[in-house]
Amino acid sequence: MNIYKQILGKKGHILALAPMEGVTDTVFRQVLCEIGKPDLFFTEFLNVEGFCSKGMEKVVHRLDFRNIEKPVIIQLWGNVPEYYAETIEYVKTLNPDGIDINMGCSVRDVLSSGRGSALINDKVLAKEIIDVAKESAGDLPVSVKTRIGFDKIDTEGWIGFLLEQGLDMITVHGRLSREAYSTSSRWDEIAKCVKLRDDISPKTVILGNGDVKDIGQAKEYVGRYDVDGVMIGRAILNNPWLFSGRKPEDISKEERIEVLKKHLEIFEKDRGDMNIFNSQKKYIKAYISNFETAGELRSKLMDTRSSLEIMDIL
């Protein structure tokens, strides 16, 4: 039984954290394991072409995870099928819980090279990638994260096509590629995906994604739109405790400071030698908020140049 069916068997639904570049790395995921762990983690997405090049060392850290983070799904992107095969052979040695293919990213640089959600317009290549991934993955489940269309809604055409590919799971973001995040997520279209699934591929798990702010809303949407689960993304930076069910106002100043310290300790242990300290400043606002002097403290912390400086201020 694959991991998606296992979670559904235990809980009846799946609450997953979306893969977000520069956010959901192993450091942040390890912190979430202590303060509010989702049912399912996804890694930052790894470019298979980059992995199969001389620059592999610059991207391979995206595959890092610790056992405490499991179940964790490795997300890949790119448009060269043979590179998927090569990358997945390595990925399998890490013992993740699944492989996810990114066919939903709408970042301009990704689209311009025919990757991410640009694959919505190239079903032939999309099928080649899926077929290679499934063959290479062996017993690992293979899934796709995507959108409801490129420049127009194509739920039946595109999602229907994906459902014919025998995927273990499809995560549907309820926007078009060209919209990025400029409109509200169309959950009515996600509900249509569920009905298509029931007709075409009843065993495929469907997650909905877009504009979900907390687990109360997520559970409501599971019932309202009949999805198997919900993937939550940007809201995690407003409340890192989100998956615990705790509200931002329920977290004390003392706890917030201790969690930021813990985050920096993990960062120094796991990634401090990568000279990327400034990349951690996005988490300062996530943790240091919702108390009287939070703004003043954040301002001081943002002027720092090292974890040690932050620790001294805290």
Q: Is-contact 225 189, C-beta < 8 A?
A: no
> How do strand 72-77 and strand 46-47 relate by DSSP bridges?
parallel
Between CA 17 and CA 39 the distance in angstroms is 8
Backbone φ, ψ for residue 309 (5° rounding): -60, -40
pLDDT tier for residue 1 given thresholds of 50, 70 and 90: low
Among 244, 273, 304, give the residue marking a domain's end.
244
- CB < 8 Å & 24+ apart, contacts of 208-214: 208/171, 208/172, 208/174, 209/18, 209/145, 209/171, 209/172, 209/173, 209/174, 209/185, 209/233, 210/173, 210/174, 210/175, 210/184, 210/185, 210/186, 211/174, 211/184, 211/185, 213/238, 214/239, 214/242, 214/247
User: Is the same domain home to 200 and 290?
Assistant: no
What are the residue numbers of the active site?
Answer: 105
Mark which of 223, 244, 265 sits at the end of a domain: 244
State the amino acid at position 128 in one-letter form.
Answer: E
Query: Domain holding 228: CATH number?
Result: 3.20.20.70
Determine the Cα–Cα distance for residues 148 and 115; give it in Å rounded to an integer: 16
* Residues 235 and 296 placed together within one structural domain of the fold: no
Q: What is the DSSP string of 73-130?
A: EEEEE-S-HHHHHHHHHHHGGG--SEEEEEE----HHHHHTT-GGGGGG-HHHHHHHH
pTM of the model: 0.95
Cα(183)–Cα(180) distance, rounded to whole angstroms?
8
* H or E segment and range at residue 167: none
State the residue for tokens 């066919």: 103
Q: Say if residue 296 is in the same domain as residue 156.
A: no
197 with 98, same domain: the answer is yes
- If one counts the domains in the chain, the total is 2
Are residue 232 and residue 255 in the same domain, yes or no?
A: no
User: Do 68 and 187 share a domain, yes or no?
Assistant: yes
What percent of the chain has pLDDT above 70?
98
Which residue range forms the structural domain that includes residue 266?
251-313
Q: What is the pLDDT of residue 226?
A: 98
**pLDDT of 11 higher than 80:** yes
pLDDT at 180: 66
Q: Which residue has the higher pLDDT, 58 or 29?
A: 29
Residue 265 and residue 143 share a domain = no
pLDDT at 93: 97
pLDDT score for 121? 93
Same domain, 87 and 140: yes
Same domain as 213, residue 100: yes
Domain boundary among the residues 244, 260, 276 is at 244
Q: Where are the alpha helices (DSSP H) in the chain?
A: 3-11, 26-35, 48-51, 56-59, 81-91, 108-112, 123-137, 160-163, 187-200, 215-225, 253-270, 282-287, 294-302, 307-313
Model pLDDT, residue 105: 85
> What average pLDDT is seen over the chain?
94
Q: Which of 21, 9, 5, 50 is nearest to 143 (CA)?
A: 5
Render pLDDT for 173-205 as a digit per residue (tens, 0 to 9): 999 988 867 789 999 999 999 999 999 999 999
Place of tokens 């409801």: 148
One domain for residues 145 and 289: no
Q: Is 212 left (phi over 0), alpha (psi -120 to 50) or beta?
A: beta
Name every residue whose Cβ is closer than 8 Å to that of residue 278 and which is 6 or more positions away in sequence: none
pLDDT per residue over 60-116, tens digit each?
A: 999 999 999 999 999 999 999 999 999 999 999 999 999 999 999 888 778 777 888
Residue 182 confidence (pLDDT)? 72
Long-range contacts of 80-85 (CB under 8 A, 24+ apart): 80/48, 80/49, 80/52, 81/125, 81/128, 81/129, 81/131, 81/132, 82/132, 83/48, 83/49, 83/51, 83/52, 84/48, 84/129, 84/132, 84/133, 84/136, 85/132, 85/133, 85/135, 85/136
307 and 159 part of one domain: no
225, 266: one domain? no
